[in-house]
Amino acid sequence: MDKDMYILGIETSCDETAASVVKNGHEIVSNVVASQIQSQQRFGGVVPEIASRHHVEQITLVIEEALAEANLAPSDLDAVAVTEGPGLVGALLIGINAAKAFAFANGLPIVGVHHIAGHIYANQLMQPMEFPLLALIVSGGHTELVLMEKHGSFKLIGETRDDAAGEAYDKVARVLGLPYPGGPHIDKLALESDEAVDFPRAWLEPDSYDFSFSGLKSAVINYKHNIEQKGGEVNPSHVAAGFQQSVVDVLTEKTSRAAKEYGVKQVIAAGGVAANKGLRASLDAVFEKEGLPFYVPPISLCTDNAAMIAAAGTSMFVSGKRGTMEMNGRPGMELVSWND
């Protein structure tokens, strides 16, 4: 790259209103996130209509702050990258229409980014990606193993057949009476616990890289039910530890097996659940033993943010991808390679 390239990223696919400027696809110049967690906690989960209402309140402020922190004017930008999907459609539409209006007003090109491509490219903000690369994406909406042979090339080798890992965390947290979002609470209880209930692991077929967490969730509910029927009391820490061990074991084993089979040079984890300390420790240990570089972005880049969207958007922009003023929210968007 001869000249520095600045891309504005915008992300509103769920309950974070975020904007960021990224330089040359890997250097964060600004990264602003307005979270709705406090408001959404009242409902024990994200209510789509509430999320959309918050986004429309925050969107221009967040973009303005991202530009101000970067000390850049719109005319200094090369393009606008925005999350096109998947996500909550009403929420996506706020970021998309703000991005389109901003791009139109300032004569900038626009790029529509897949949210998961964003999570993967969060790693590019920490260290250069090396290919072939295996990415484990774990969040409230996704549990996927993706193989990348080069930039912008994605091959799905495994995914959840029912609940996403983060969804299972939230549901089990609710069963244990823990506040929303449940993941961090279970993680904390699990790490403090000296004992763990033995829950099953869903390995599926021996050669499968797919995941399943709904059986585990049911096992937790049944366990609690049985104990309570006998007049006993459930120890939430022991349940959390057992549940977390089951999830972490399956994620670690499948990721490690896929890394070997595909002979990758680098393994990365991404998505909100990648912030889980138990999962990080387990993956760290396995890949250290195998001598394979394993990276997880810092927590602020694991949870939803716009820097990751700008990073992925830069790769798309460089490959010549462009969106149009007709861009719509795509709640069920599939991850498609932009560099075949």
Partner 1 sequence: MIWLGIDTANMPLSVAIVKDGTILAEVNSSMAVNHSLRAMPVIEELFATVQLQPKDIDAIAVSEGPGSYTGVRIGVTIAKTLAWTLKKPLFGVSSLKVLAANAVYFDGLICPIVDARRNNVYAGVYEFVDGGLTAIAEDGHFAIENLLDVLASKERPVLFVGKDVAMHEELMKERLKENAVIAPFPLQLPRASSLIFIAQQSGQEENTHAFTPEYRRIAEAEANWLMQQRKDQDNE
- For the CB of residue 105, give the shortest distance to partner 1 in the complex, in Å: 5
CA distance 212 to 310: 31
Which region, judged by CB under 8 A, interacts with partner 1, from 51-59, 124-132, 285-293, 313-321? Answer: 51-59
Binding of residue 21 to partner 1 (CB under 8 A): no
**Choice between 207 and 326, CB closer to partner 1:** 326
Interface residue with partner 1, options 4, 49, 76, 334 (CB under 8 A): 49
CA distance 199 to 72: 53
Binding of residue 32 to partner 1 (CB under 8 A): no
Interior angle at CA 338, CA 258 and CA 307, nearest 5: 85
Q: Of the candidates 205, 126, 119, which has an alpha carbon nearest to the alpha carbon of residue 164?
A: 119
- For the CB of residue 43, give the shortest distance to partner 1 in the complex, in Å: 5
CA distance 138 to 185: 17
Interface residue with partner 1, options 24, 27, 35, 74 (CB under 8 A): 74
x/- letters, 301..330, toward partner 1 (CB under 8 A) = -----------------------xxxxxx-
Strand blocks (E) in 88-154: 110-114, 133-138, 143-148
Binding of residue 59 to partner 1 (CB under 8 A): yes
Binding of residue 300 to partner 1 (CB under 8 A): no
Interface residue with partner 1, options 5, 27, 35, 47 (CB under 8 A): 47
**Choice between 98 and 146, CB closer to partner 1:** 98
CA distance 86 to 111: 15
Q: How far does Cα 264 stand from its chain's mean position?
A: 21
Binding of residue 223 to partner 1 (CB under 8 A): no
Task: Assess contact for 309 and 11: CB atoms under 8 A.
Answer: yes
Interface residue with partner 1, options 4, 43, 130, 155 (CB under 8 A): 43
x/- letters, 89..128, toward partner 1 (CB under 8 A) = xx--xx-xxx-xxx-xxx----------------------
Q: How many residues does the chain have?
A: 340
Interface residue with partner 1, options 5, 35, 57, 196 (CB under 8 A): 57
DSSP string spanning 305-328? -SHHHHHHHHHHHHTT----TT--
- For the CB of residue 53, give the shortest distance to partner 1 in the complex, in Å: 7
| Alpha-carbon separation of residue 209 from 114, 155, 251 (angstroms) | 22, 13, 9
- For the CB of residue 305, give the shortest distance to partner 1 in the complex, in Å: 20
**SS3 category, 122:** helix
**Choice between 222 and 328, CB closer to partner 1:** 328
Binding of residue 72 to partner 1 (CB under 8 A): no
CA distance 49 to 91: 8
Binding of residue 1 to partner 1 (CB under 8 A): no
Task: Assess contact for 172 and 187: CB atoms under 8 A.
Answer: no
- For the CB of residue 87, give the shortest distance to partner 1 in the complex, in Å: 14
Binding of residue 71 to partner 1 (CB under 8 A): no
CB atoms within 10 A of CB 42: 10
**SS3 category, 212:** coil
Interior angle at CA 295, CA 291 and CA 299, nearest 5: 150
Residue count, binding to partner 1 (CB under 8 A): 34
Tokens of 209: 């890289």
User: Which chain residues interact with partner 1 by CB under 8 A?
Assistant: 42-43, 47, 49-50, 52-53, 56-57, 59-61, 63-64, 74, 89-90, 93-94, 96-98, 100-102, 104-106, 324-329
